[in-house]
């Protein structure tokens, strides 16, 4: 599937993304093992979770590779299995999809902080993302999603690295925001929309951090700020801990109650993040899969962006300070020269 076909597909109707994997793996008996190791050690658990989401009505399955980049695997002592873990994840998702779902290669943060916030360079991050993208593309994914990103610069590195590998693979780019519409590193959702939207991506979106009712307010700001196709994955409410297990307070019905708001704002892809399971996706699919994404009229003005601010350049912007050569003979001579 090329990028034009992918975009046209998303304009036809709302597509359903799958739900959470970490919580589902625990329920299926992963015994707390790192999720990516399950691709090699307990592939039947991964395949069961994929099949459940496919049967619940998901159009897209995400590979179990969220933390399968080399820096994250090195922290787990699994860097030697980098290629095998990613290749196995694609094969498992393909088997579970059975030709009924498309498979997206799932990528996320390296765990590094990029200079000037940290010690790693932009180029190092680009190459880390490119190496994982190469394995996923060669293994046959239909597209790539980069999700749960909190640092704008690292997300830029991910997009650049993926596009070094392939300029034809469909690409979805997500960031994570708090209630105030800012990422934890200070980037407002409007800056994300403009900066990443100006890169070579097909879909912009938001996932994690917030429950559906709170996320819809931030998502509305994204929808106003960009003409791009949109994607969203809310959490299943707020997390709680009973002393043994983490649980989320939104029932599948609560979760789905806000789903139509995302479609009305123009979402082409809706799925679930932390705490969501097959039943959340089943109800979501029942409500939305026949809906057509709302048509949005957006006319974004030209802006100048830093990491944390967007300055509107319409109708014009004054940059710098007024130049006054009065009583400054040397300066006046320099201007004349």
pLDDT above 80: residue 107: yes
Return the number of other C-beta atoms located less than 10 Å from residue 120's C-beta. Answer: 18
Token digits of residue 311: 């300055």
pLDDT above 90: residue 153: yes
Mean pLDDT (whole number) for 207-232: 95
Per-residue pLDDT band for 320 (boundaries 50, 70, 90) equals confident
Q: What is the pLDDT of residue 308?
A: 93
Q: How far apart are CA 276 and CA 127, in angstroms?
A: 32
Mean pLDDT (whole number) for 138-161: 98
Q: What is the pLDDT of residue 327?
A: 86
Mean pLDDT (whole number) for 36-65: 98
Burial 288-303 (b: 16+ CB within 10 A, else e): beebebeeeeeeeeeb
Q: What is the pLDDT of residue 39?
A: 98
Residue 262: its H or E element: helix 259-264
Angle at 90 between CA 88 and CA 92, to 5 degrees: 65
Mean pLDDT (whole number) for 217-241: 93
Q: How far apart are CA 69 and CA 146, in angstroms?
A: 12
Q: What is the pTM of this model?
A: 0.92
What is the tens place of the pLDDT at every residue in 1-35?
A: 899 999 999 999 999 999 999 989 999 999 888 89
Is residue 306 within 8 A of residue 28, CB to CB? The reply is no
Residues linked to residue 96 through DSSP beta bridges, in sequence order: none
327 phi-psi bin (left φ>0, alpha ψ -120 to 50, beta other): left
Is residue 107 within 8 A of residue 120, CB to CB? The reply is no
Per-residue pLDDT band for 261 (boundaries 50, 70, 90) equals very high
Q: What is the pLDDT of residue 58?
A: 98
Token digits of residue 181: 């519409």
Q: What is the pLDDT of residue 300?
A: 66
The dihedral through the CA atoms of 184, 151, 192, 206 has a sign that is negative
User: How would you class 167 by CB atoms within 10 Å of its CB: exposed for 0-12, middle for 13-18, buried for 19 or more?
Assistant: exposed
Token digits of residue 15: 């597509």
Residues linked to residue 145 through DSSP beta bridges, in sequence order: 106, 172
Q: What is the pLDDT of residue 311?
A: 85
Token digits of residue 169: 């693979």
Q: What is the pLDDT of residue 249?
A: 83
Mean pLDDT (whole number) for 264-290: 96
pLDDT above 70: residue 229: yes
What is the tens place of the pLDDT at every residue in 78-92?
A: 999 999 999 999 999
The dihedral through the CA atoms of 281, 85, 147, 130 has a sign that is negative
Q: What is the pLDDT of residue 245?
A: 73
Return the beta strands (E) in 93-245 as ranges: 102-107, 143-149, 171-175, 203-207, 229-233, 239-241
Helices (H) and strands (E) in the chain, counts: 14, 12
In three-state secondary structure terms, 323 is coil
Is residue 67 within 8 A of residue 34, CB to CB? The reply is yes
Instruction: Using alpha carbons, select from 76, 65, 188 the residue that is nearest to residue 129.
Output: 65
**Contacts of 251-258 spanning 24+ positions with Cβ under 8 A:** 252/277, 252/279, 252/280, 252/282, 252/283, 253/283, 254/212, 255/212, 255/280, 255/283, 255/284, 256/280, 256/283, 256/284, 256/287, 257/212, 258/212, 258/213, 258/216, 258/234
Angle at 122 between CA 188 and CA 73, to 5 degrees: 95
Q: What is the pLDDT of residue 299?
A: 66
Q: What is the pLDDT of residue 61?
A: 98
What is the tens place of the pLDDT at every residue in 154-206?
A: 999 999 999 999 999 999 999 999 999 999 999 999 999 999 999 999 999 99
Average pLDDT, the chain: 94
């Amino acid at each position: 599937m090329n990028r034009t076909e992918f975009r046209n597909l998303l304009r036809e109707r709302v597509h359903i993304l799958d739900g959470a994997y970490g919580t589902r793996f625990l329920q299926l008996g992963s015994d707390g093992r790192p999720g990516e190791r399950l691709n090699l050690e307990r592939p039947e658990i991964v395949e069961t979770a994929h099949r459940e989401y496919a049967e619940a009505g998901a159009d897209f399955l995400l590979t179990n590779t969220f933390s399968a980049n080399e820096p994250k695997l090195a922290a787990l002592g699994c860097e030697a299995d980098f290629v095998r873990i990613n290749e196995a994840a694609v094969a498992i998702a393909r088997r579970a999809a059975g030709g009924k779902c498309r498979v997206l290669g799932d990528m996320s943060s390296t765990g590094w902080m990029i200079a000037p916030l940290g010690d790693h360079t932009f180029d190092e991050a680009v190459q880390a993302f490119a190496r994982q993208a190469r394995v996923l593309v060669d293994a046959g994914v239909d597209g790539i999603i980069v999700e749960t990103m909190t640092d704008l610069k690292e997300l830029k590195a991910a997009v650049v690295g993926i596009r070094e590998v392939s300029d034809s693979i469909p690409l979805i780019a997500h960031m994570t925001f708090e209630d105030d519409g800012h990422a934890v590193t200070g980037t407002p959702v409007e800056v994300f929309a403009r900066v990443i939207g100006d890169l070579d991506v097909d879909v912009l979106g938001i996932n994690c951090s917030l429950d559906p009712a709170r996320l819809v307010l931030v998502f509305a700001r994204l929808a106003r700020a960009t003409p791009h196709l949109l994607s969203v994955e809310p959490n299943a409410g707020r997390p709680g801990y009973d002393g043994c297990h983490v649980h989320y307070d939104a029932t599948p019905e609560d979760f789905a109650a806000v789903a139509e708001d995302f479609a009305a704002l123009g979402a082409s892809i809706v799925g679930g993040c932390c705490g969501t399971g097959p039943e959340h996706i089943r109800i979501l699919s029942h409500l939305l899969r026949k809906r057509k994404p709302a048509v949005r009229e957006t006319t974004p003005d030209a802006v100048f962006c830093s990491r944390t601010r967007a300055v509107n350049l319409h109708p014009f912007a004054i940059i710098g300070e007024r130049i006054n050569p009065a009583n400054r003979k040397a300066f006046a001579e320099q201007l004349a020269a």
